[in-house]
Chain A
Amino acid sequence: MSSLSVDVYPKRRKTYTWLFFLLPSIAIMLVFFIYPILLTFFYSFTNLALTGEAARELKFIGLDNYARMFQDPTVRISIWNTLVFLIGSAVIGQQVLGFLIALLMKQRNKTFRRVIGTIVLAGWVTPEIVCALCLYSFFGDEGTLNAIITFFGFSEVTWLFTVPMLTIILANIWHGTAFSMLVFQAALDDVPNEIEEAAVVDGASKWKIFTRIIIPYIKSTITTNMMLVTLQTLGVFGLIYAMTGGGPGNSTTTLPIFMYNQAFVNYQLGYGTAISLLLLLIGIVLSLLYIRSMKE
């Protein structure tokens, strides 16, 4: 904010005109965003359901939904799957691959950079349902991947059944890596060339330059990007739902899928909200960490 505005604007300010500017957006956020979050807390203590007796009579059941959650083995599986999916596709996959691409692209041929960059970006720009379709047919029994491996004399693999978690992790990497690539490209371009050149003159090896100069220089970008990518991945629903539907069995049931199944397939809305709350809490903790890392 410019220093000028401090002096001039308050004089122009008639009583609370600013409120009228802010009111519409605050109102819409309150009704459709903040109120539902508060509702989550409320409904998670009820037996709210769309069918059966509970649909007629809403009752407070205290911590029953939570007790049920702790005993439900599927909850444990979903939390575990969510973690595997987060770490595999976001932390390791998108972040490391995105960084690697950005690093390798530095100082390469311009046309080559553009071609590879565009290909990676195309996966990001593509809507998630189209991504799901493309990767479903890539990993399908008669899909491209099996066509390639049989060409090389190996036998077909039923990817979506034998390694379903791996397929959705790879799908999410395919869809999301471009974001990290762009972020890291911008960050790496910011590392001053002079420092690197000086290190080269001093006889530093490539590895030393990488670990002692580049990494420390972009450290804050790494943490911020990690938080953002993790938060984006936490909510992924369409990609998994369309590719595996959470199965086979519960092998790819992450928390969003489990929440969906409980609330909209089994009509257990109260229980579904308790799971949303769990998801929300994970999101809140991660967001707070993210905001802290941004402020540093």
Chain B
Amino acid sequence: MNAKQRKLIYRILPYAILTGIGICFVLPLLWVLVASVDPNAMQSLKMPSKVTGANYVEVITSSENQRAYLIGLVMSLGQAVLVVLLALLAAYPLSRYQMKYKKPFMLTILFMTSLPITAVMVPVYQLFLGLKLYDNILGVILFYVASSMPYGIWMMKNFMDSVPSDLEEAAWVDGASVFTGMRKVVAPLMVPGICTVAIFTFSGSWGNFFVPYILLQSPEKFPASLKLYQFFGQYGMVDYGSLAAFSVLYAIPAIIMYILSQQFMSKGFGLQGGTKG
């Protein structure tokens, strides 16, 4: 092999490997997309004999599915709004004031951010039975809020640290209270941060299956994630077409949220600078 050939291989090889990886990643995804418009969808990926919207119509017109979708939206949106509001409040003193136990507090928060939620589900279930919150949608929202609070506070504090305090001080000089300064000056400058936290919390619970699976019992209270599992787990996957259509519809909000987050996360996706006390 001469030098020229070797150089050519070096240039082509990365493209070949990446294409191979790409194919492996795209096949399962392609199946769900194709099956959703195939009137005779099967387990394997195949060219549909004709393209139909019937699977989607079937899924969308079912009032049970509509309710599950709506409950999912209410849960995720409710959680996102609460987390943003509470985290914004909590981040303010953590970012602006000198406090005695700030550093250990922030480390505890960081520590809680990284604990697996799965591990606390059994005790949370017991707690919910005791508090009469079991099988209660509001209860699920409250648990979601609590479990995403550490992450929300952590992110929000870091975002707030990058908002300069001069503007806020100018507002005080003009007679604004701490609260007005926060609402009229700090919050507007933090829109990208607020959106990022909101999007992350929304996606977290929208895609979650375990939490509602443990904390809810009545099928009429199931959010979309649980409805899909029921569909997939109990009926032996007979109707691949509508199952795929449901999956696509269920994935859409998560995809929209991801695309939106790209607008706000201009700084990319580094892990640096996370530990500023």
Contact = CB atoms under 8 A, between A and B. Distances in A.
A24 B119 contact: no
B254 A9 contact: no
Contact of B229 (A18, A48, A129, A187): A129
B255 A264 contact: no
B233 to A, nearest CB: 6
Interface residues of B, number: 96
A33 B123 CA distance: 10
A136 B32 CA distance: 11
Contacts of A287: 111, 114-115
A127 B250 contact: yes
Given A126-B251, A127-B250, A279-B119, A142 B275 contact: no
Interface stretch (B52-60, B63-71, B204-212): B204-212
A116 B17 CA distance: 11
A142 B117 contact: no
A288 B126 contact: no
A246 B184 CA distance: 52
B123 A273 contact: yes
A60 to B, nearest CB: 16
A67 interface: no
Contacts of B86: 24-25, 28
A160 to B, nearest CB: 12
B269 A186 contact: yes
A182 B161 CA distance: 24
14 contacts: A8-B165, A21-B90, A32-B142, A108-B18, A119-B26, A120-B25, A125-B258, A142-B42, A144-B31, A183-B270, A187-B271, A227-B114, A237-B209, A294-B110
7 closest A-B pairs by beta carbon, nearest first, are A235-B116, A32-B146, A18-B93, A127-B207, A235-B118, A36-B123, A134-B28
Interface of A: 1-2, 4-6, 8-10, 12-13, 17-18, 21-22, 24-26, 28-29, 31-37, 39-40, 43, 48, 97, 100-101, 104-105, 108-109, 112, 115-116, 119-123, 125-130, 132-138, 140-144, 146-147, 174, 182-183, 185-187, 189-190, 221, 224-225, 227-228, 231-232, 234-238, 242, 256, 259-260, 263-264, 269, 272-273, 275-277, 279-280, 283-284, 286-288, 290-291, 294-295
Given A17-B178, A125-B254, A237-B210, 10 more contacts: A9-B98, A12-B172, A18-B97, A35-B127, A116-B21, A190-B272, A238-B210, A238-B229, A294-B271, A294-B274
